[in-house]
Amino acid sequence: MHELAVCQSLMAQVVDIAARENAERVTSITLRMGPLSGVEPDLLAEAFPIAAAGTPAEGAELRFERLPVRVRCTTCGAESDATVNRLLCGACGDYRTRLISGDEMLLASLELERRVSAG
Amino acid sequence: MCDTCGCNVTAGNRHLVEAEGKLARTESGREAVAVLQGLLSENDHVAAHNREHFDRHGVLAVNLMSSPGSGKTALLEATIDALGGELRFGVVEGDLETENDAARIRAKGVPAVQITTGTACHLDAHMVHKALHQLDLGELDVLFIENVGNLVCPASFDLGQHRNVTLLSVTEGDDKPAKYPVMFRAGDLMLITKSDLLEVLDDFDPARAEHHLRHLASDAPVLSLSARRGLDLEAWFGWVRAEVGAQRTRVAAGQTSTPKVQPEGRLLHSHG
């Protein structure tokens, strides 16, 4: 899978933010993921310690907010739950729907420990 | 993970990115920073840059994705044979190893850049950007990017293309769209290839493949063809001509276009 590549990209962002915020350590990272992102949270969690080694995020907790697959029907307007390979309208059954949740792959937030300033 | 399946970090994606973090709240020594940006935001940034390059030169960029061996290169050979007199093609080939596919394209007199990814299972925007330095976009009408044969990873990486085409060969099984929804959802066009073999493969039903695709809320056209036998290729050629025309119209109007299902699309509905 491509989870390590995704994790490396995540770490680049985390390290950059930590440096800008003058953080000594990143204690937790929260990701927002949907199943249609094509990235498996469990595999990402396995890749994370490798990608985080030697960075301020080493040892950080990786949290996932898992988002449901939801569609809005462009025919009848209803919003309904769906599954990854059945994105049909739950109300009228039409396939002409738009995904409104479920393909997210976002860095939502970080928790940081600031450096104690010497002055 | 990586050691098991062969995926790895690509040479192009190592450097740092600009982030749009902002301070949310402060607590005793610890601070929470709300970020809300795509995990692949650097890739997406380079992809947008690639797309600007294509548009500046009026080039239509099409990303071909499928399993290995579905006939991507054979399709390109047949397309060059038929349309080479009216359109100027260039090809970027992605494989883990060998120059074989680029050599097949160059044998047709068309410029081709081979990207060998080593162990990486997909192309990313950086790799394509680097390949573009070896092509004269001013001399092209259409750039085909033949992605690494893989129904999983390539779907997650925007390369800067205007359209995605997914290929499904009849030897693979007509339920592939249901098994690999992320990939087949991403297609602006699905080609059922090696249609000449349908007569000996009674378990593949093109209608069933299309049924599975519609269940992914995709209204992408579905075309059956055989590049090797030259069967039913006209509709595909018509699609290419129409997309070239649409790209020229957009460029003249200063507009661009992305594939219908776009990695950046996540950002549009992620704040709710």
Of the candidates B156, B206, B205, the one whose C-alpha atom is nearest the C-alpha of residue B185 is B156
The ipTM assigned to this model is 0.88
Q: What are the tens digits of pLDDT across the range A5-62? A: 899 999 999 999 999 999 999 999 999 999 999 999 999 999 999 999 999 999 999 9
Average pLDDT over residues B7-20: 35
Is pLDDT at A115 greater than 80 in this prediction? no
> Residues of A with CB below 8 A from B215's CB?
85-88, 95
pTM: 0.88
| Residues B61, B244: Cα–Cα separation, whole Å | 9
pLDDT class of B7 with cuts at 50, 70, 90:
very low
Is pLDDT at B1 greater than 90 in this prediction? no
Q: How far does CA A74 lie from the centroid of its chain?
A: 27
Of the candidates A96, A85, A30, the one whose C-alpha atom is nearest the C-alpha of residue A57 is A30
- A46 contacts B30? CB cut-off 8 A: no
Nearest Cα of chain A lies from the Cα of B153 at a distance, in angstroms, of: 6
| pLDDT value at residue B29 | 60
CB-nearest partner of B35 from A23, A98, A107:
A107
Interchain CB contact of A99 with B (< 8 Å): yes
Best of B39, B184, B260 to mutate (most A CBs within 10 Å, chain A)? B39
A110 - beta bridge partners? A29, B33
Question: Alpha helices of chain B — where are they, by DSSP H?
Answer: 2-5, 41-56, 72-83, 100-106, 125-132, 176-179, 181-185, 206-214, 234-252, 265-268
Closest residue in chain A to residue B153, using alpha carbons only: A2
Q: Are B270 and A104 in contact (CB under 8 A)?
A: yes
Torsions phi, psi for B99 (to 5 deg): -100, 15
Q: What are the tens digits of pLDDT across the range A79-108? A: 999 999 999 999 999 999 999 999 999 999
Kindly state the percentage of chain B with pLDDT values over 90: 79
Instruction: Look up residue B232 and give its DSSP letter.
Output: S
**Comparing A56 with A115, which gets the higher pLDDT?**
A56
- B157 contacts A2? CB cut-off 8 A: yes
The amino acid sitting at B191 is L
Torsions phi, psi for B10 (to 5 deg): -90, 160
Q: What are the tens digits of pLDDT across the range B240-262? A: 999 999 999 999 999 999 999 86
Q: Are B150 and B68 in contact (CB under 8 A)?
A: yes
